[in-house]
C-alpha cells in the first residue's frame, strides 16, 4: 500500500521504517527540511537501535522517502498516519496544535485527492479527540468521514530503545475504526503481522493507550514505594518482586525499583489522564500518588548517596546515563535532570556521561561538566550514580572503578553484582537494604 507518515520523531520514523520494511511504499513528511534531507540520505535524525541500518536500506531501495510537502504526500498515498507530537500544557492537558494543523492540511489535500483515503491518528490523544476536533477539521471543506474518507485511531506501543522490535513483533494491534471500509483497509496494513488485533471505536482505542501507560507507571511507582520500605527492613525489593511476579495475575514486568519513570510517554500520559479525569469531575487518588512517588524518587536516590558519602559539598559525582533509559538519546523527563539539580543544590561538582544523550542534555543543563567516555567521568570522582541501563554500564567492573577517588556506587538501575567488587567498593542499590 502507499502510505504517508506525518511527523518523523520516534513514533513517526520508526513506524514509517517498519511499514516500509513490510513492503509498503512510505513517504515520511516533516516541516523541518534539515530532517527531510537527513532521512533522504538514510540518516535518522534520532537515535534508535537498528534504525540507521534499516533506514539506509529502505532509502536505497526506494521503499521510503521523505518530503516537506504534506499535500503531495497525501494525494499520492492511500493512507495517512498522523504521528506529530502532543506536548503537555502547563495544566497537564495536551497541546493539540500540531495535530490540528496537520488535520487542516490533510483536509485541504483531500479536496484534490481522488478515491477513498484513510486518515489514521497515531499520535497519543485524549479520548474523544479523533472523533471530535480531528474529524471536525478533516470535514471542514465538505468531505465527510465514513463516506468520502476513512478515519482511524491506531495507538502506538513502542518502547524507545527496542521500538523497531516492538513494531515488528507487537503484543497487540489496536485499531479504532469509524466504519467497516476503514477497518478492512487498516487490517490490510497490518495483515501479515502475527499478533492479536483488536478492533474498537475511535474513543476506546484512545483510552486503551492511556490506561496501558498509566497502569505500567503505577507498577513502577508501586515498586519504588515498596523499595523504600525494603531498605528500612533490610530485604531486597528485587527478590520480593521476583516472588510477587510469579503470580500470573501480577507478572514481574515493570516491577523494578529505580530512579523513577521518564520519557515521552509515562509522565505526560499519566498527567494528561489525571487532567482529563479532573475535567470530567472524576477523582484520581491512585494516579495522583503515582506521580508524587515519581517526583520524589530522584531525591531519594540522592539521599542514598548522602547517607553513604556524607556531606556532598565539594564532592565530585559522576552521573552515568543522561537519557531517560538506555539505547536512546531521548532526555524527555529523564530522572537524570532532577538528580543533577539536587546534587548541584547540595554543592556537589557533577560530571555527566551518556553514550548518545549528552548533546541533548547539555542543551538543557550547561552548568555541569561532561565526559567523552565513562573512564573520564569516573576519574577522580568521589561517587557515581548509575541512572540508566546502557549495556556499557552493565559491564562496569572493579578495574573501571579503580580510577575513582573513593569508590562509592549508587546503582539506580540495579545493573551490577555487588559480590563482584572488592571490599574497598561501597555499593548501594535502590531497594537493596
Greatest C-alpha distance within the chain: 75
Rounded Cα gap, residues 73 and 106, in angstroms: 10
- Tens of pLDDT, residue by residue over 368-401, are 999 999 999 999 999 999 999 999 999 999 999 9
pLDDT (mean) for 99-121: 96
Rounded Cα gap, residues 64 and 20, in angstroms: 6
Instruction: Report the candidate in 207, 297, 218 with the shortest Cα–Cα distance to residue 254.
Output: 218
pLDDT (mean) for 272-295: 97
In the prediction, which pLDDT does 374 show?
A: 97
Mean pLDDT of the chain: 96
In the prediction, which pLDDT does 90 show?
A: 85
Which grid cell is 79? 493512507
DSSP 144: -
Residue 156 pLDDT class (50, 70, 90 cuts)? very high
Q: Is there a shared CATH topology between the 2-200 domain and the 290-429 domain?
A: yes
Q: Helix 336-345 crosses helix 285-309 at what angle (to 10 degrees)?
A: 50
Q: Which residues does 357 contact at the CB level (< 8 Å), separation at least 6?
A: 322, 323, 328, 329, 330, 331, 334
Rounded Cα gap, residues 121 and 5, in angstroms: 10
- CATH number of 290-429: 3.40.50.1820, 1.10.10.10, 3.40.50.300, 3.40.50.720? 3.40.50.720
Q: How far is Cα of residue 126 from the mean position of the Cα atoms in its chain? A: 17
Q: Is the pTM of this model over 0.85?
A: yes
Residue 91 pLDDT class (50, 70, 90 cuts)? confident
In the prediction, which pLDDT does 165 show?
A: 94
- Residues in a beta bridge with 81: 5, 120
Instruction: Report the candidate in 415, 392, 387 with the shortest Cα–Cα distance to residue 324.
Output: 387
In the prediction, which pLDDT does 286 show?
A: 98
Rounded Cα gap, residues 85 and 8, in angstroms: 10
Task: Please answer whether residues 413 and 391 qualify as being in contact, where contact means their C-beta atoms are separated by less than 8 angstroms.
Answer: no
Residue 161 pLDDT class (50, 70, 90 cuts)? confident
**DSSP letters for 60-88:** HHTSEEEES-HHHHHHT-SEEEE----PB
Rounded Cα gap, residues 303 and 430, in angstroms: 11
Rounded Cα gap, residues 43 and 40, in angstroms: 7
pLDDT (mean) for 303-319: 97
Residue 306 pLDDT class (50, 70, 90 cuts)? very high
Rounded Cα gap, residues 149 and 58, in angstroms: 29
Rounded Cα gap, residues 148 and 12, in angstroms: 25
Of 120, 230, 259, 265, which residue is the catalytic one? 265
Rounded Cα gap, residues 136 and 183, in angstroms: 20
Q: What is the CA radius of gyration of the chain?
A: 23
User: Does 278 have pLDDT greater than 80?
Assistant: yes
Rounded Cα gap, residues 330 and 51, in angstroms: 15
Residue 41 pLDDT class (50, 70, 90 cuts)? very high
Give the residue with greater pLDDT, 245 vs 161.
245
User: Does 433 have pLDDT greater than 80?
Assistant: no
Residue 316 pLDDT class (50, 70, 90 cuts)? very high
In the prediction, which pLDDT does 267 show?
A: 95
What ranges do the domains of the chain cover? 2-200, 290-429
In the prediction, which pLDDT does 192 show?
A: 86
In the prediction, which pLDDT does 93 show?
A: 87
User: Does 300 have pLDDT greater than 90?
Assistant: yes
Just give the CATH number of 2-200.
3.40.50.720
Residue 223 pLDDT class (50, 70, 90 cuts)? very high
Segments in 257-351 forming alpha helices (H): 266-279, 285-309, 336-345
Residues of the chain with pLDDT > 90, as a percent, come to 96
Known active-site residue 259: no
Which grid cell is 406? 573513593
Sign of CA dihedral 397, 325, 323, 215: negative
Sign of CA dihedral 301, 216, 195, 59: negative
26-57 burial code (b ≥16 CB/10 A, e <16): bbbbbbeeebbebbeebebbbbbbebeebbee
Amino acid at each position: 500500500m502507499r502510505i504517508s507518515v506525518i511527523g518523523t520523531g520516534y513514533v513517526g520514523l520508526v513506524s514509517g521504517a517498519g511499514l516500509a520494511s513490510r513492503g509498503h511504499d512510505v513517504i515520511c513528511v516533516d516541516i523541518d527540511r534539515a530532517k527531510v534531507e537527513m532521512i533522504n540520505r538514510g540518516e535518522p535524525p534520532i537515535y534508535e537501535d537498528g534504525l540507521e541500518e534499516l533506514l539506509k536500506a529502505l532509502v536505497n531501495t526506494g521503499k521510503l522517502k521523505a518530503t516537506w510537502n504534506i499535500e503531495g504526500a497525501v494525494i499520492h498515498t492511500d493512507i495517512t498516519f498522523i504521528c506529530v507530537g502532543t506536548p503537555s500544557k502547563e495544566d497537564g492537558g495536551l497541546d493539540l496544535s500540531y495535530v490540528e494543523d496537520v488535520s487542516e492540511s490533510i483536509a485541504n489535500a483531500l479536496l484534490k485527492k481522488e478515491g477513498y483515503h484513510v486518515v489514521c491518528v497515531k499520535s497519543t490523544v485524549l479520548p474523544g479527540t479523533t472523533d471530535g476536533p480531528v474529524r471536525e477539521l478533516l470535514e471542514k471543506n465538505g468531505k465527510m468521514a465514513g463516506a468520502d474518507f476513512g478515519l482511524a485511531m491506531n495507538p502506538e506501543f513502542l518502547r524507545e530503545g527496542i521500538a523497531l522490535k516492538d513494531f515488528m513483533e507487537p503484543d497487540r494491534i489496536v485499531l479504532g475504526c469509524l466504519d467497516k471500509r476503514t477497518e478492512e483497509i487498516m487490517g490490510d496494513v497490518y495483515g501479515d503481522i502475527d499478533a492479536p488485533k483488536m478492533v474498537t471505536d475511535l474513543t476506546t482505542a484512545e483510552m486503551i493507550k492511556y490506561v496501558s501507560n498509566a497502569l505500567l507507571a503505577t507498577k513502577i511507582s508501586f515498586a519504588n514505594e515498596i523499595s523504600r520500605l525494603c531498605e528500612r527492613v533490610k530485604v531486597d525489593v528485587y527478590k520480593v518482586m521476583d516472588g510477587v511476579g510469579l503470580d500470573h495475575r501480577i507478572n514481574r514486568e515493570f516491577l523494578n525499583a529505580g530512579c523513577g519513570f521518564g520519557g515521552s510517554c509515562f509522565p505526560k500520559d499519566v498527567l494528561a489522564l489525571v487532567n482529563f479525569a479532573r475535567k470530567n469531575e472524576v477523582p484520581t487518588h491512585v494516579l495522583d500518588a503515582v506521580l508524587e512517588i515519581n517526583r520524589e524518587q530522584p531525591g531519594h536516590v540522592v539521599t542514598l548517596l548522602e547517607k553513604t558519602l556524607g556531606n556532598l559539598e565539594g564532592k565530585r559525582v559522576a552521573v552515568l546515563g543522561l537519557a531517560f533509559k538506555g539505547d536512546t538519546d531521548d532526555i524527555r523527563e529523564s530522572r537524570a535532570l532532577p538528580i543533577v539539580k539536587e546534587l548541584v543544590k547540595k554543592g556537589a561538582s557533577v560530571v555527566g556521561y551518556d553514550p548518545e544523550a549528552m548533546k541533548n542534555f547539555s542543551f538543557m543543563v550547561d552548568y555541569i561538566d561532561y565526559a567523552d567516555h565513562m573512564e573520564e567521568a569516573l576519574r577522580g570522582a568521589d561517587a557515581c550514580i548509575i541512572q540508566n541501563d546502557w549495556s556499557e554500564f552493565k559491564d562496569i567492573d572493579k578495574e573501571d572503578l579503580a580510577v575513582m577517588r573513593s569508590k562509592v556506587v549508587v546503582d539506580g538501575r540495579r545493573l551490577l553484582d555487588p559480590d563482584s567488587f572488592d571490599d574497598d567498593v561501597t555499593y548501594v542499590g535502590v531497594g537493596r537494604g
